[in-house]
Structure formats: structure tokens, C-alpha cells
Amino acid sequence: MTEVTKDLYQVKEKMYVATDCIIFGFHEGKLKLLVFKRRVEPLKGEWSLIGSFVRLDEDLEVAGKRVLKEATGLENVYMQQLRSYGKKDRDPGYRCISVAQYALIRIDDYDEKLVEEHGAKWFEIDHLPLLILDHNRMVHDALIQLKQIARYKPIGFELLPEKFTIPQLQILYEAIYQRELDARNFRKKVLSLNVLEKLDEKDKSTSKRGAFLYKFNYENYQRLLKSGYNFEIA
């Protein structure tokens, strides 16, 4: 970056840096996205991702976590930067670059009141409304990356409650990949990874017989990763 460039930059108007959060959840067998009704002009009343300007004294990731917490009350959530969107005319109001970050949350953990205050709503991933600006594009890109990453990281577990059944896990993966999976093969595969701990309880909410509950074993997952992972689901 030359001195010339720097001067040119400084005489012009301001560059804004924002971050937008793509918040995924999972509920009733569907992958969902948390969408917000915009409170300020322009585009007031339109559906939108939730975002904020990045503060000068704030790390980029911290800004994402702050936004997420303000909206849902949640902390210590799986969050990952997607990429930045920087078309010069992407926002009619400002010259604004947005860093998109996506989060996976356990949908029954979040603070429902807080979410309501923000005028937010969960939408099924394949029935999203029209969002402002390039937000639909962001979600689309995030979904692609989610599918990719789900192949070699156990991110699926971030979206389920601590205890879950194998059929539940399967339905989640089916929602992410948007296709059906074979129950026998799926069970075989995930159990062969040795990262699930079978519990003595059953969940009887979905069948008379009941399905055994499992929980994720993070230590085994770490060991698996180190010893040359062949971790890959579906």
C-alpha cells in the first residue's frame, strides 16, 4: 500500500465494516435460520440477518459473538467466519464491507424473550423469505460451506441437545444434506467413529419403543483427529 493510495483513501468518505450473523438451528426435523425484522431505515420492516458495525476496539470474531449474544443470549457457541462481501454498491446507504459469520445453536437453548424483542423468527432453510441486500447470497454460501464442513467435522452435534438419539442425528444430517440417508449405514458409520457414548436412558417422545440416548465424547474426537482422521459422515 503506497502513500498515494493512502491519501486517496483518506480524502474520500468513510468505509464501514459490519458483520452479519447467519444463525442456524435445528428443530422438528428441520434445519432453520434465525431471521430478523429490520428496525431502522432504510429497508425498515424487511427481513434481514442480524448484524452490527465492528467496533474500533473490538476483534472481528468478538463482534460476531457480541451480535449473537445480543440477539439470542447465547455464549460459547460454535461460530465460524464465512467470508466478506464487498461489492461497492452492496448497501445503498453506506460504503460497507460485511464479514459474514455463521453460528450453529441448539435451538432449545436460546433466550426466546430476547429473540422476540428483536422481532426475530425461525424460518425453515428451504422456505426463507426474501432478505435485504446480499443476505440471501450469504445464507446460500454458508449452507454450501456447512455441507462441506459437516463431512469432516462433527458440527452436527452443535445443533442438537446434549443428549440425542441416533435417529435424531440422522434427521439432522438429512436436513443439512437435503437428501435421505440409509438408517443402517448411517448408524454403522457414526458408531464406528467411537465418538458417541451410549447412555442408559431412552427417549420415548417419538416412538413407543424408545431410542437410546447418546452424548458426544469430545476427548475421543480429539484423539481421532490426531491419529489421522478418517472422520467423514454421509
Partner DNA sequence: ACAAAAGTGTTGGCCCTACACCCATGC
Partner DNA sequence: GCATGGGTGTAGGGCCAACACTTTTGT
Residues that bind DNA (CB under 7 A): 165-167, 182-185, 187-189, 202, 204, 206-212, 230, 232
Nearest distance from C-beta of residue 163 to DNA, angstroms: 13
83 binds, among a copy of itself, DNA, none (CB under 5 to 8 A by kind): a copy of itself
Q: Which residue pairs from 184-189 have beta carbons closer than 8 angstroms and sit at least 24 positions apart in sequence? A: 186/233, 186/234, 189/233, 189/234
Judged by CB under 8 A, the residue of 26, 85, 110, 173 near a copy of itself is: 85
230 binds a copy of itself (CB under 8 A): no
230 binds, among a copy of itself, DNA, none (CB under 5 to 8 A by kind): DNA
Please work out the total of residues on this chain that contact a copy of itself, with binding judged by CB under 8 A. Answer: 38
Residues in region 47-66 near a copy of itself by CB under 8 A: 51-61, 63
Cβ proximity to a copy of itself: between 102 and 164 the closer is 102
60 binds, among a copy of itself, DNA, none (CB under 5 to 8 A by kind): a copy of itself
Cβ proximity to DNA: between 52 and 217 the closer is 217
Comparing CA positions, the residue from 199, 166, 196 lying closest to residue 183 is: 166
The dihedral through the CA atoms of 194, 200, 205, 210 has a sign that is positive
Q: How far apart are CA 24 and CA 137, in angstroms?
A: 15
Nearest distance from C-beta of residue 69 to a copy of itself, angstroms: 14
Nearest distance from C-beta of residue 214 to DNA, angstroms: 9
167 binds, among a copy of itself, DNA, none (CB under 5 to 8 A by kind): DNA
User: Which cell numbers in the block locate residue 19?
Assistant: 458483520
Cβ proximity to a copy of itself: between 88 and 127 the closer is 88
Judged by CB under 8 A, the residue of 37, 44, 83, 204 near a copy of itself is: 83
Residues in region 28-47 near a copy of itself by CB under 8 A: 39-40
Nearest distance from C-beta of residue 58 to a copy of itself, angstroms: 6
List CB contacts of 123: < 8 A, sequence separation 6 or more: 32, 33, 35, 129
List CB contacts of 163: < 8 A, sequence separation 6 or more: 199, 201, 203, 213, 214, 215
